[in-house]
Chain A
Amino acid sequence: MRAIGIILAGGNNHRIRQLTQDRAACAMPIAGSYRSIDFALSSMSNSHISKVAVFTQYNAGSLNEHLSSSKWWDFGRKQGGLFIFTPAVTAESNAWYRGTADAMAQNISFLKNSHEPYVIISSGDCVYKMDFNKLLEYHIEKKADITVVCKEMPPEAPVERFGIVKVDPDMRIREFEEKPVVARSNIVSCGIYVIRRRQLIEMIERCTEEDRYDFVRDILIRYKDMKQISACMMSDYWSNISSVDDYFRTNMDFLKAEVRKYFFKEYPEIRTKVDDLPPAKYNMGSQVHNSLIAGGSIVNGTVEDSILFRKSYVGNNCYIKNSIILNDVYIGDNTHIENCVVESRGTIRANSYYKGESGIQVVVEHNERYVI
């Protein structure tokens, strides 16, 4: 592969509320067994990109834990590998990453010391699968300076939280607005870009000179008339988890047969850190309908239209409906949980009642856990 990879995993998002209290958005658990960064990482690995940098800053610990070994994504190589960059005090800088471009600027040696001609940049909080070889071919064929992966959203979908683009018939991006008040198109940027490495270095260095720090605002939008920035339309599944509702909906998408087939059964696969958990166990009296149950879980009660992440325990006579139970949650007997996201490592006391009335409720309960 003639590209190196960069995954932008620094961000926090206030719209995802308590769920990023203790973790980076890119470490958000997805679909029972994964974390959001797995999708970008696996796509890069599956596209034979052998050298990948992850820029992380907010709650970096959670991500470091997940990426503690690179072998699960096949990055434990002599050539290349997985590089995790958190902000560091250096002779030149003692600042945090002030933006995505600044993160690259502070680690410009990673770009300069590579020899691959291209860079694939992806945000780490999107759920998708992509063959970057095809994307690179498209980029070269279009003779673009930068290619932005875009997706046409359904007309009724709210898109104001994305970068909105307008393209001309030749797919060149003519307008690019970041999180507009009123969207003037329903084509959104997926946060995945291709750019020539030397071009990127040049632009980043220019940004630094001008005290500009954001890749979208200070490179994509600022250069869109001067450089050829092309859109590459993505037709497959793509979703991002920038709000609690998005996060909930993205997870629930995996209850659809076609989404499961696309991510779980079709080549290539999404990989993640392996957890060595025993098989899921369904005890006498358990009733589980239209739900995903991850490894290490033990179910005694009723679960409907829900996702149980790894190592969940559902007590006797519980009723879990339309909810997401994150990793290692213990739910005591006779508990009712509906329209909720239960934060990981939580312990729900027996006889509790939680119901999201006007939307999805985030439940964070860290009680003493007596059993087990």
Chain B
Amino acid sequence: MYVKKEMIAMLLAGGQGSRLGVLTQKMAKPAVSFGSKYRIIDFPLSNCINSGIDTVGVLTQYMPRRLNAHIGIGIPWDLDRTMGGVTVLPPYESNENSDWYTGTANAIYQNLEYMESYNPEYVLILSGDHIYKMDYEVMLDFHKKNKADVTIAVMPVPMEEAKRFGIMVTDDNRRITDFQEKPEHPRSNLASMGIYIFTWKVLKEALLTNRDQPGLDFGKHVIPWCKDQGDNLFAYEFNGYWKDVGTLNSYWEANMGLIDIVPEFNLYEEYWKIYTTAVSIPPGYMAPDAVAERTIVGEGSGIYGQCYSSVIGCDVTIGKGTVIRDSIIMNGAVIKDGCELNKCIIAEECEVGSGVRLGVGDEAPNDTNPNIYNNGLVTLGEKTVIPDNVTVGKNTVIYGVTDENDYQDMCLPSGGSIIKAGDEE
């Protein structure tokens, strides 16, 4: 049976995202929950189906179980198809060289046969760790119109921040003339978003030619090689909302952006829906004494306390007398009665005992990973348990089932860390 798809997507979802600390201890970054009921990968997956792309290969490697469970056969995204649909592509063993995915382009190279089976004309390369809504079809039109070999989505960033990105230098027709990787003196402010459209023949040739390059990477190897070959490289400018949620602080900020009256990133628009696996169906319940202001709450949650400026997931319980501010509470977490939570990230299925106070006192740098746990955040890894009446300071991290003996005087001062969870699962 001859199959033909104009464009298929390859979604790179194998990375850990180690700057998210304990949130990615047991799951790949694309599986981390975002905006109450969603997970990060929902955004590129929904973009695909909304753009008319019905064939998506999801490349997994790091801790893939949660991601696999979430994607399933793709029902929420209408990607359960008889031909195409979503396919999870883990690394595999073969006769010649069995290898993990050693780089972004290497991962795609190892799945040449998957792509070939759909006879695509174009291949869209995506990463599974950004929050945005984008019509890839418009980008494809741009690619076709320019008769491009490679189109790279770029976003204008402030000139002073340009040195943190891969910068594309273009001529007036958006043809890429040069790149600068994290340049000291940027010559343009167009930052690569890590979204590429390749004409299939060009991609295939580039991957086959460079297959022996260790850690084959798009930005470092494939794109420069294409340019050296004299291929047509174009930059497609995107001006919508696009957020990297690579650090705990940017992750927290992006979540908080959802609760404005008219948020910059609006989930309530009919036009470009974001789909996800429904973990819970029933409506949320607000108790007689409940308060929720500037807060979003997922299905099946019961609010008995007070929530201000927070993002609350599905099947969460917020106990009586508890006051929550500026926090992210993920699916299935239970916060018991009389607690006080300030600027917390509480991962899935945590249990916080009665009378616990999180995020109080003066700031102090985190004692183990000050580059990850900062900005006053309190971070709890999934299934963490905190006993009653404990007080926890700022820039702290707790992961695992803790009891009174883990705390000195029922207290974890600012900057402290308790990591108890092992590698079981």
Contact = CB atoms under 8 A, between A and B. Distances in A.
A binds B: yes
Contacts, number: 106
Contacts of A294: 283-284, 299
A31 to B, nearest CB: 7
B282 A260 contact: yes
Contacts of A276: 76, 273-276
B325 to A, nearest CB: 14
Interface string B17-41: 0000000000000000001110000
Given A32-B282, A280-B284, 18 more contacts: A33-B299, A260-B285, A276-B76, A279-B37, A279-B267, A279-B312, A280-B298, A282-B297, A284-B293, A287-B291, A288-B286, A289-B287, A289-B289, A290-B287, A291-B285, A291-B286, A292-B285, A295-B299
Interface in A16-45: 31-34
B284 A293 contact: yes
7 smallest CB-CB distances across A and B, nearest first, come from A32-B283, A278-B267, A282-B292, A294-B283, A279-B36, A264-B282, A279-B296
Contacts of A71: 75
A193 B297 CA distance: 40
B283 A286 contact: no
A307 B283 contact: yes
Interface in A239-270: 260, 263-264, 269-270
Nearest to A34: B281
User: From DSSP, what is the main secondary structure of chain B's interface residues?
Assistant: loop
A33 B281 contact: yes
A270 B282 CA distance: 9
Interface of B: 35-37, 75-76, 259, 261, 267-268, 273-276, 278, 281-300, 307, 311-312
A180 interface: no
Contact of A274 (B268, B278, B287): B278
A290 B288 CA distance: 4
19 contacts: A274-B76, A276-B274, A278-B35, A278-B267, A279-B312, A280-B283, A280-B297, A281-B259, A281-B296, A282-B297, A288-B286, A289-B286, A289-B289, A289-B290, A292-B282, A292-B283, A293-B283, A293-B297, A298-B268
Contacts of A292: 282-286
A286 B297 CA distance: 13
Contacts of B278: 274
A280 B296 contact: yes
> Which of A271, A282, A287 has most chain B Cβ within 10 Å?
A282
Contacts of B290: 288-289
Given A279-B35, A279-B297, A263 B291 contact: no
B279 to A, nearest CB: 11
Nearest to A300: B261
B317 to A, nearest CB: 10
A283 interface: yes
Contacts of A31: 282-283
A285 interface: yes
Contacts of A288: 286, 290, 292
Nearest to A306: B286
Interface in A271-327: 271-272, 274, 276, 278-296, 298, 303, 307-309
Contact of B281 (A269, A278, A282, A285): A269
Given A71-B75, A264-B300, A271 B273 contact: no
A31 B300 CA distance: 12
Nearest to A299: B292
B291 to A, nearest CB: 7
> Which of A33, A269, A270, A279 has most chain B Cβ within 10 Å?
A279
A283 B286 contact: no
B41 to A, nearest CB: 15
A282 B285 contact: no
Nearest to B270: A372
Nearest to A305: B288
Nearest to B275: A276
Contacts of A272: 281
B6 to A, nearest CB: 26
A31 B282 CA distance: 8
Contacts of A309: 283
Nearest to A275: B278
A311 B275 CA distance: 16
Contact of B261 (A278, A284, A303, A307): A284
A296 B274 CA distance: 12
Nearest to A309: B283
> Which of B291, B307, B311 has most chain A Cβ within 10 Å?
B291
